[in-house]
Amino acid sequence: MIRSLVEECERTGHALIEIAEGGTRGRVNRELVRAIAGHGLFDRLFGESGVTATDLCAIRQGLARVCTEAETAFAVQGLGAIPIHLHASPELRDQVMPGIRRGESVAAFALTEPTAGSDAASLSTVAERDGNGFRITGEKTFISNAPDADVYTLFARTTQDAGGRGVTAFVVTSDLDGLVGEPIEMLSPHPLGRIHLDGVYVPEGNVLGEIDHGFRVAMQTLDLFRPSVGAFALGMAEAALRVATGHATTRTAFGTPIADFQGISHQLANVRLDIEAAELLVYSAAAAHDDGDGESLTGKAAMAKLHATETAQRAVDTAIQVLGARGLQADSTLAHLYLEVRAPRIYEGTSEIQRNIIARELFNGRL
């Protein structure tokens, strides 16, 4: 079942490559988002029965094997909109979600701030009461799909000195007075930027979940998505290994395919071993989420993300070493993956944070 969905999404990725390549670097490719919707992937994500973490992982793994731009566009739309799908009032959900599901409206998840990255509970963006709503002031940075997004799931502090307990989640639309933004040019080509909020008025009906309990909304979303970051990395690692093994079996040196040299074959064998372990970790974490096993989920998700993202980094680096200069050509698959593979070790919890989580869960007896 998992494998068939991965392969189906790999075929979908092939169909999206041309549209993905037609986008503008660093800006939202709206044609791509609509095409993803046209292939039914957002229907899977926002269906009435709800997406499972296992299906989310399979979709991201399959897309990442062939089209990382499509994978990222799908994932970021999901990250920005799942909190709305799960926590908005029926009226707000009916107002916002149809356009997102059709790919006509672009969503974003706005949590990170200039001084609040790994320590997400230290948000300084504030939402102050104003009549029947709130005025939000602050800055969000390194936000995927910003500044082009139409809808932001945005987290702001509603109670001072309360840590994660004083944060509220809001739906903030880009057409509101006082909201401006600009893109940030990154190593990879994906849309990413910052937004500034200067007294942006948001009605109370745009609150997601309960006031002062927005951190729970954020963590529930990240619990769903963190194993799938590992799946994204897994797909990239598989793509790199596929290129490297194809090259090693056809490239000859000293009269023999270079796959016959242990210096080459053992490196690729190690990559295959790491990929197999990463896949088991990713789908074990996804199963823990889907089974409601909250006790083991946090540690398993951290292990999956950590091992899969670091495996992908090694896989791409090893593949480039096997191909030599060919792997460094600017238009090569591996050069593209080399730019893509670094970021997942940072976002949604750095590798160092994942190790902290794993150690904490280990010593608390949950791993």
- Tell me: the pLDDT tens digits for 126-179? 999 999 999 999 999 999 999 999 999 999 999 998 888 899 999 999 999 999
Give me the mean pLDDT over the 64-91 stretch.
97
Cβ count within 10 A of residue 148: 17
Q: Please work out, in degrees rounded to the nearest 5, the angle formed at the alpha carbon of residue 182 by the alpha carbons of 180 and 187.
A: 155
Q: Give the Å distances, CA to CA, from 81 to 58, 98, 139, 150, 182.
A: 19, 11, 20, 11, 21
Q: Where are the domains of the chain?
A: 2-101, 107-213, 216-363
pLDDT category at 284 given cuts 50, 70, 90 is very high
CA 234 to chain centroid, in Å, comes to: 13
**For residue 144, what are its two tokens?**
């995927």
Q: Which pLDDT score, from 0 to 100, does residue 117 have?
A: 77
Q: Give the Å distances, CA to CA, from 265 to 94, 125, 257, 315.
A: 55, 52, 11, 13
Residue 145 one-letter amino acid = N
Q: Is the pLDDT of residue 120 over 80?
A: no
Give me the mean pLDDT over the 257-270 stretch.
97
Q: Is the pLDDT of residue 260 over 80?
A: yes
User: CA 305 to CA 327: how far, in whole Å?
Assistant: 26
Q: Which pLDDT score, from 0 to 100, does residue 269 have?
A: 98
pLDDT category at 102 given cuts 50, 70, 90 is very high
348 is catalytic: yes
Q: Is the pLDDT of residue 1 over 90?
A: no
What are the residues whose beta carbons fall under 8 Å from the beta carbon of 356, sequence distance 6 or more? none
Phi/psi for 157 (5° steps) reads: -80, 125
**For residue 27, what are its two tokens?**
């800006």
Q: Which pLDDT score, from 0 to 100, does residue 48 have?
A: 83
pLDDT digits (tens, 9 = 90+) for 187-216: 888 999 999 999 999 999 999 999 999 999
Give me the mean pLDDT over the 269-274 stretch.
98
Pairing of strands 192-203, 133-144: antiparallel
Q: Which pLDDT score, from 0 to 100, does residue 322 have?
A: 98
Q: Which pLDDT score, from 0 to 100, does residue 294 have?
A: 87
Q: Which pLDDT score, from 0 to 100, does residue 158 have?
A: 97
- Which of 260, 341, 351, 301 minimizes the C-alpha distance to 71? 341
CA 194 to chain centroid, in Å, comes to: 17
Burial letters for 161-191: b for 16+ Cβ neighbours within 10 Å, e otherwise? eeebebbbbbbbbbeeeebebebeebebbbb
Phi/psi for 222 (5° steps) reads: -70, -30
pLDDT category at 119 given cuts 50, 70, 90 is confident
| The one catalytic residue among 340, 348, 352, 361 | 348
Q: Is the pLDDT of residue 360 over 80?
A: yes
Q: Which pLDDT score, from 0 to 100, does residue 94 have?
A: 97
Residue 272 one-letter amino acid = R
**For residue 120, what are its two tokens?**
């997400």
Q: Is the pLDDT of residue 298 over 90?
A: yes
Q: Which CATH architecture has domain 107-213?
A: Beta Barrel (2.40)
Q: Is the pLDDT of residue 50 over 90?
A: no
Burial letters for 285-315: b for 16+ Cβ neighbours within 10 Å, e otherwise? bbbbbbeeeeebbbbbbbbbbbbbbbbbbbb
Q: Which CATH architecture has domain 216-363?
A: Up-down Bundle (1.20)
Task: Return the CATH fold of 2-101.
Answer: Butyryl-Coa Dehydrogenase, subunit A; domain 1 (1.10.540)
Bridge partners of 181?
195
129 and 117 in contact (C-beta within 8 Å)? Answer: no
DSSP 121-188: GG---EEEEETTEEEEEEEEEEEETTTT-SEEEEEEESSTT-GGGGEEEEEEETTSTTEEEEE---SS
**Average pLDDT of the residues of the chain:** 96
